[in-house]
Every structure is written in C-alpha cells, then in structure tokens.
Structure 1
Amino acid sequence: MQEFYKKALLALIGLVIANALLASLLVYQSYLSVSLRAAARPGAGWQYITDSDVNMAGTSTVRIPDRQREDLRFEFKLTRAAQYPFVAAGMALLDARGQPATVDWSKYTDVTFLARCAPANSMFFSISTFDAKVSKVGDFQTYRSPSTYFSCNERGVPVSLDLTRLSVPDWWFNAVKLDLTYQGYELNRVSRVVFGSSSQSPFNVDSYLEIGELTLHGRDYRYIVALALVLVASWGTFALWFFRAHSRALTASLNSRMKKDLPLVAYRQLTLEPYKDKEKATVLRFIATNYTNTELDLDGVVSGTGTNRNKVNELLKNELGMTFTSYLNKLRLTEAARLLAEKSTATVAEIAYLVGYSNVSYFNKLFKEEYGCTPKAFRSIAALSENQPAPAAEAP
C-alpha cells in the first residue's frame, strides 16, 4: 500500500500543479482588454467625428488638427450664441461601405483613458447605442446616448468609467417620445464614442481635450465556466481512479497479508500437536485453544498452565518475536479475516465475538490497524477478489 500512496501523492501533486497552471491561464484569458483607436485611413473601422451647436444657430467651433494621431485630440472654443451651446468629438464605427455600423460591447464593463485638457475642465463622455424600438440607422439623435462626466487638466487625469452605470439624458426621451422610466440600455450595439463640453466648460476660451490610452475592460465568463468544468472533470477522474486503484491495491495487499498470515495459522495448529519442550508446548497449546475466550489474559495463561508470567513472555518473545497481547490479537484477527471471507452470512459483531472480542468498536479499531480497512470493507474486497477470473496460464 505504501507504493500506491506514493503514486497517488505524486498524481495528486501533478494534478494540483496542472490545475493551478490552467486556472492561471483561463482566469487571465477571462480578463478582456482592447484598445480603441481610429483607423489610419478612411473606410471601415473607427473614424474621427466632430459635432457642435452650429446646427442650432450656434457659433462654437471644434476641430481635430491631426487625424493620423492614435490619441484623440480636438481643439474647441465654446460660445454663448446657441441656446444650448456644446462641442463634441469622438469616433464612429463605419462598415466597408462607409455606412454606420455597430459593435457588441456586452462583454465589457469599464472604459479607461487618460484625459488632458486646458484649461482644467469638466467634460462629458457618451456612447451611442442602437435601440431597435426607436433608433433609425444613421440618425444618431434617435440612438440611446448614456453618458457621464469626468475631470481633466494639463497634467493628465486617469479616468475609469463604469459602462453599465451611465445615465440616459432626459432630452433624448423627449426627442423620441419615450417614457422616462425606460432608463435601461444595452451594450450589444454600440455605434459611437463621444467626448464633449459640459455646462461648466469655459466660454470664449481656446481649449483642447486629449484622450489617450482609450481602453475597454471586461470579463468573458466562458473561460471561468470552462475552468469549472475542467476542474470538476479532472478531480472527478482522479477520485474515480483513486477509488479503483485503491481497491485494487488494497485487495492485493490483503491477499498478500492473508498469505503471510497462513504460516501463523499453521503454527497455531502445530502447537496442538506434541512438542519437544513440554512447558513451551503447554503455553502455546493453551493460547491456541483458548484465544477465542473473551476473558483470556496473561494471568489466565499463567493460571491455566502453571507457568511463570515472565516465562510466558520470554517464550513468546523468543519463539514468535511478539508480546502476549500482540500474539493474542494476531491470532484473533487472522481468524476474523478468514471468517469474514468465508462466512458471508455472519455479522461483524458475531465474528468479533467468535474470535474473542466482546467490544465490536475495539475489534473494528484493531482490525483496521492490522489490515488497513474496516471488517465490512475487507469482506467486500475479499468477495471481489474471489469473483475475479484467475489469470490464464502461459503456454509452455
């Protein structure tokens, strides 16, 4: 059994290491991160866009001086001419035909970026999401536009926004004639990302906003589900292998143990026959014929044979290398193992009493220490061993 436990320990260590490595890989893969950049050339992909209050009789200006930059930078001047002055710039997604397209962001929960601006300012962030119930393709006024605000300055402010907790502005509900209670939005059809001025932005001041390192973050829980399935499958397989291999190893160990104990049984039988040393023969014969007596102890042997206590211990130590208690338990447990294998109808308690134990719990404890399993398990393994077909003989 020691070899089996060593093998099982090595297999367990290997499984733990493999699962730890796999868990690290899959957990790492579950964290999604993608950078948003405008396409270098006009066509399919994210394209820079600008917007302002000019269509509402405003005079605010906004421009992107370098559309080849990876980072979005736009310059603007906000004026008071319009009733609701504003400027905005960002990126819109186009398909290969140059038509508005959408992208699925449902796996992403956060967006991060570095915001630099002058003068220091409060700006807004917004995304345009297509709502199949009210939106018209290309008419971004009908797209849901959940948004929020962030701060910026010349040194740069790291910003992290929760995409799932943005607010849809009231004006949009009025524009599409939708009840204000329908505040929910989905991220499965995102069309634009927009940055712009707020009501606190300064007027008539040359300003700029630069957005760098624009990145989406999220989780793909399919990797976690896959990890859970792999862990359940691997540990289930290991448990099944351990159970079967342990049963085979225990069966082999018990068979070997029983064969090893056969000489002891034979020796017990020999002690019933004439022995040259009469004193020794008397002691061994008395133990062999009375070991099933639940009251048998060393004093009983001394009383029953008329032999000195020290002599009894010395005899057993020299003859068998055992103490009286060890030899008595060995005889009883060996006989119990034989009875468990041969008497399928006898209960464990009956067998315990037959071999000299009045306390079944104590018998179970000693039996498990001797054979590595409970009497019930021993009986099952012995029955399984008997039912297994014998190996075919090799041809001469």
Structure 2
Amino acid sequence: MQEFYKKALLSLIVLLLVDLLLAVFFVDRAYPTRTLLPAQKGDSRWEYLTYSDGADGGASSVHVDDSRERLRFDFKLKDVAPFPFASVALTFKDDKGRQIHADWSKFRTISFVAKCAPAASLTFDVSTFDDKVSKPGNFGTYRSPRTYFSCSEQGVPVTLDLARLLIPEWWFAAMKLDVVRQGYELDKVAKIMFGSSAASPHNVDTHIEISELTVHGRDYRYLTALALIILAGWAAFGVWFFLAHARALLASVDSKVKTNLPFVAYRRLTLEPYKDKEKASVLRYIASAYSDPALDLEAVAAATGANRYKINEVLKSELGMTFTNYLNKVRLTEASRLLTENSSAAVSEIAYLVGYSNVPYFNKLFKEEFGCTPKSFRTLAAQQPQQQAADSAPVAPPV
C-alpha cells in the first residue's frame, strides 16, 4: 500500500500543478486587457481627430499634442455658438492607415487617469457602427453612447462601464429613431472621444491629460471551461484513486493472507518439527485453544506444564513474537478465513468464534493487521477468483 500512496501523492501533485497552469492560462484569457495609452511599441493603429463647434458657426478651439504616451489637449469654449463644444477622438486604423472598426465585444470597462486644469466635468463617447442605420465613415450616423466623469489638477482614476452608456437624445432626433432604442453593440467600435460638457468652464483655457488608458474584459466562457476541465480532472482522479486503491488494497490483503496462511495456526502441527516436546506442546495448545476468550499466558502454562518464561522463550525463539502478538495473529488469521468462507456469518459472530468478546476491539486489531475493516476484507476477498481462493484456502488447525 505504501507504493500506492506514493504514486497517488505524486499524481495529486501533478494534478495540482496542471490545474495551476490551466488556471493561469484560462484566467488570463477570461480577463483580457488592451492598453491604448501609453501606446505599445510599434502600435500606430489609431490617430487623433479634433472636433469643435466651428462647423456650426462657433469659435471654440481645440489643440492636441500628438503624443503616444498620453492624450494631451487644450480647448477653450467661447460663447458664440448656442452649444459650444470641443473634443478629441482616437480613431482606429489598419496597417495601411484605413479606418477600421475594432471589436470590443469582449471588453466591459475602460479605465484611465484624468487630469485637467481647471477642474472640470468631461464627456466620454464611444462611436459604434450600427448595421441598420450607420453609413461607413459618416460618424454622425454611428451610435455614440456617452457618459460623464470628473477630473482635477491632481488626477482622478476613472473606471467606466462600457455597457452602461447612454445615447444622447439629439442623435435619435437626427436619425429619426425612437429614443427608447438605446441598445448598442461593441463589436464595431470606430473611435472613442473625450470632450467638454455643459459643465465645462467657458472662455477659459483648459488643459486635459488622459493617461493609462486601458480597456478590460470579462469572458466567463473561459472560466466555465476552466471549471469543467478541473472538475473532469478531479473526477477522473477520484475514479482512478478509488479503483487503484481497491486493487492495491486487494493485492495487499491477498499478500497478507498468503503470508499468514502457512502460519502456525493454519498448518497441521506435528511433533516432528520440534525435537523439544515442551515447545511442541505449547505451540499445539495455543493453535487449538485460541478461540477461548479467557486464554492467557497463565492458562497456557497451566495446560502445558511449562512455566511462563519457557512459553515466552518458545515464542520468541520460534516466531519472534510475544504471547499476545502471537495469539492475536492466530485469531485474526482464522477470522480472515471465516470471513472468506462464511459470507452469511456476521462480523460479531466471527469475532466471538475466534476468541474476541469485544467486537470494536476486534475490528481495530483486524484493521491494523490487514489494512481494512472485516466488512471490506470480505468484499475484497469476494472479488478474488474462486480458484485462487480455493487454492489458497487454509487448513483448519487440529483440535
């Protein structure tokens, strides 16, 4: 059984290591991220665009610093147009500089650090292409859900939920759509935009810095797959452990029985192997009287005429055991035979037949000897081939 437990421990360690590696892999896939600012080395697949109310007759201005580390821009809102505004957008491009739609369906939040002087409230927009109403390249027809955030001179960490943005009412009026159709998808994102809001200061130079711009996702399919793989792995390990443990226990019990069967209690005792009649008398008496619950060293001495020291000397020299150990060995080996051959007898009945009046004590000793309970031993013994059981069946001691 020791070899089995070593193998099981090694298998468990391997399983845990595999689970750890799988967890690292799947969790990384389950929480994808993409960093926009600072731009990754060689990443030039977006560019800045500026917007203001100039097209509506306004005089607001905006200037952007073309930095790849962070978004820096300055704007000044002037009270000329009815609704003055200024903003800067990051538009996505392919390798050839053509506008593309980025698939952000796996992303759920966007985070960044916002600094502004003076402190202000700004807007964040996502332009998403709608197959039913949008015209490629015409951003005015794209759904552009937005939200608001605050910034200060010290910098404010901001995290926005990309699934909880709202499309402004003016867009529905311009597109002649029902305002209740607020739904949008993130599988075709053309640009994201930072700009002024109605609460932004007018006629004041405002400086904005956006850094650490990152989108974060949650894909629970990978976590589900991880859970299923881990459960399947542990289920397979459990089945293997159960079957291998049963085989190892069966082999251990079979080996123990084969070792015990030739024992003194299960071979015909004659006087021939022992030139010393006193030794033969002691061993023969114990082999025939072991079922007596009252059998002890004094009883053997009284029945054989040998003194107790002689009895101990015989057992030590012939078997290397004390009287108690030898008596238990004889009784438990006989119990194993009865459990195998008499399937209808209760464990308690067998315990009494071999000399134990205390059944729990018998169970304890039996498990220490064979590595399993008497009931388990009977089940395991029944699994052995009938011929093997017949060939190895012990011969009862003579009376």
* TM-score, normalised via structure 2 length: 0.79
Q: Match of 2:260?
A: 261
* Structure 2 letter corresponding to 1:21: L
- Displacement of 1:260 after TM fit? 1.6
Say whether 1:4 aligns with 2:1. Answer: no
Question: Structure 1 330/86 Cα, relative in aligned 2: closer, same or farther at 3 Å?
Answer: same
- What stretches of structure 2 of length at least 5 have no aligned partner? 389-399
- Displacement of 1:196 after TM fit? 0.5
Say whether 1:382 aligns with 2:381. Answer: yes
Question: Structure 1 5/38 Cα, relative in aligned 2: closer, same or farther at 3 Å?
Answer: closer
Greater alpha carbon shift after TM alignment, 380-389 vs 5-14: 380-389
Work out whether residues 265 and 330 of structure 2, in 8 Å CA contact, stay in contact via their aligned partners in 1.
Answer: no
Work out whether residues 100 and 137 of structure 1, in 8 Å CA contact, stay in contact via their aligned partners in 2.
Answer: no
Work out whether residues 127 and 194 of structure 1, in 8 Å CA contact, stay in contact via their aligned partners in 2.
Answer: yes
Once the two structures are superposed, residues 231-274 of structure 1 have per-residue CA deviations (whole angstroms, 9 ceiling, x without a partner) of 22332332333233323322332222222212314675316889
Q: Match of 2:13?
A: 13
Once the two structures are superposed, residues 33-78 of structure 1 have per-residue CA deviations (whole angstroms, 9 ceiling, x without a partner) of 1133799xxxx96453333334544332334464x85744443221
- Displacement of 1:136 after TM fit? 6.8
- Displacement of 1:371 after TM fit? 0.9
Q: Match of 2:286?
A: 287
Q: Match of 1:53?
A: 53
Once the two structures are superposed, residues 95-127 of structure 1 have per-residue CA deviations (whole angstroms, 9 ceiling, x without a partner) of 899998644323212212343444443322122
Which whole-Å CA distance do the structure 2 matches of 1:292 and 1:184 have between them? 86
Q: Secondary structure at the match of 1:115?
A: strand
Question: Structure 1 346/86 Cα, relative in aligned 2: closer, same or farther at 3 Å?
Answer: same
Which whole-Å CA distance do the structure 2 matches of 1:325 and 1:266 have between them? 14
Q: CA RMSD in A?
A: 3.8
* Structure 2 letter corresponding to 1:9: L
Q: Secondary structure at the match of 2:261?
A: helix
- Displacement of 1:139 after TM fit? 6.1
Q: Match of 1:343?
A: 342
Aligned pairs for 1:212-227 within 5 A: 212-227=211-226
- Displacement of 1:189 after TM fit? 4.2
- Displacement of 1:183 after TM fit? 6.0
Which whole-Å CA distance do the structure 2 matches of 1:133 and 1:303 have between them? 108
Which whole-Å CA distance do the structure 2 matches of 1:201 and 1:274 have between them? 111
Greater alpha carbon shift after TM alignment, 202-211 vs 333-342: 202-211
Q: Secondary structure at the match of 1:269?
A: coil
Which whole-Å CA distance do the structure 2 matches of 1:250 and 1:338 have between them? 17
Aligned pairs for 1:122-201 within 5 A: 122-130=121-129, 140=139, 143-152=142-151, 157-169=156-168, 186-201=185-200
- Displacement of 1:2 after TM fit? 1.7
- Displacement of 1:334 after TM fit? 0.9
Q: Match of 2:25?
A: 25
* Structure 2 letter corresponding to 1:14: V
Once the two structures are superposed, residues 141-190 of structure 1 have per-residue CA deviations (whole angstroms, 9 ceiling, x without a partner) of 56554333334456655433332344454555666677777766543443
- What stretches of structure 1 of length at least 5 have no aligned partner? 390-396
Q: Secondary structure at the match of 1:201?
A: coil
Q: Match of 2:397?
A: none
* Structure 1 letter corresponding to 2:337: R
Aligned pairs for 1:88-127 within 5 A: 88-93=87-92, 102-127=101-126
Question: Structure 1 69/15 Cα, relative in aligned 2: closer, same or farther at 3 Å?
Answer: closer
Say whether 1:249 aligns with 2:248. Answer: yes
Greater alpha carbon shift after TM alignment, 202-211 vs 270-279: 270-279
- Displacement of 1:328 after TM fit? 1.4
Which whole-Å CA distance do the structure 2 matches of 1:89 and 1:274 have between them? 106
- Displacement of 1:386 after TM fit? 1.6
Q: Match of 1:320?
A: 319
* Structure 2 letter corresponding to 1:214: L
Work out whether residues 37 and 46 of structure 1, in 8 Å CA contact, stay in contact via their aligned partners in 2.
Answer: no
Question: Structure 1 382/326 Cα, relative in aligned 2: closer, same or farther at 3 Å?
Answer: same
Work out whether residues 170 and 180 of structure 1, in 8 Å CA contact, stay in contact via their aligned partners in 2.
Answer: yes
Q: Match of 1:297?
A: 296
Work out whether residues 131 and 143 of structure 1, in 8 Å CA contact, stay in contact via their aligned partners in 2.
Answer: yes
Which whole-Å CA distance do the structure 2 matches of 1:38 and 1:273 have between them? 96
Q: Match of 1:394?
A: none
Question: Structure 1 292/178 Cα, relative in aligned 2: closer, same or farther at 3 Å?
Answer: farther
Which whole-Å CA distance do the structure 2 matches of 1:381 and 1:388 have between them? 15
Work out whether residues 92 and 191 of structure 2, in 8 Å CA contact, stay in contact via their aligned partners in 1.
Answer: yes
* Structure 2 letter corresponding to 1:374: T
Question: Structure 1 286/29 Cα, relative in aligned 2: closer, same or farther at 3 Å?
Answer: same
Question: Structure 1 180/352 Cα, relative in aligned 2: closer, same or farther at 3 Å?
Answer: farther
Work out whether residues 65 and 71 of structure 2, in 8 Å CA contact, stay in contact via their aligned partners in 1.
Answer: no
Q: Match of 2:393?
A: none
Question: Structure 1 346/62 Cα, relative in aligned 2: closer, same or farther at 3 Å?
Answer: same
- Displacement of 1:326 after TM fit? 1.2
* Structure 2 letter corresponding to 1:235: W
Which whole-Å CA distance do the structure 1 matches of 2:38 and 2:191 have between them? 12
Work out whether residues 72 and 90 of structure 1, in 8 Å CA contact, stay in contact via their aligned partners in 2.
Answer: no
Q: Match of 2:392?
A: none
Which whole-Å CA distance do the structure 1 matches of 2:215 and 2:355 have between them? 76
Question: Structure 1 47/387 Cα, relative in aligned 2: closer, same or farther at 3 Å?
Answer: farther
Q: Match of 1:333?
A: 332
Which whole-Å CA distance do the structure 1 matches of 2:125 and 2:356 have between them? 83
Question: Structure 1 388/123 Cα, relative in aligned 2: closer, same or farther at 3 Å?
Answer: farther
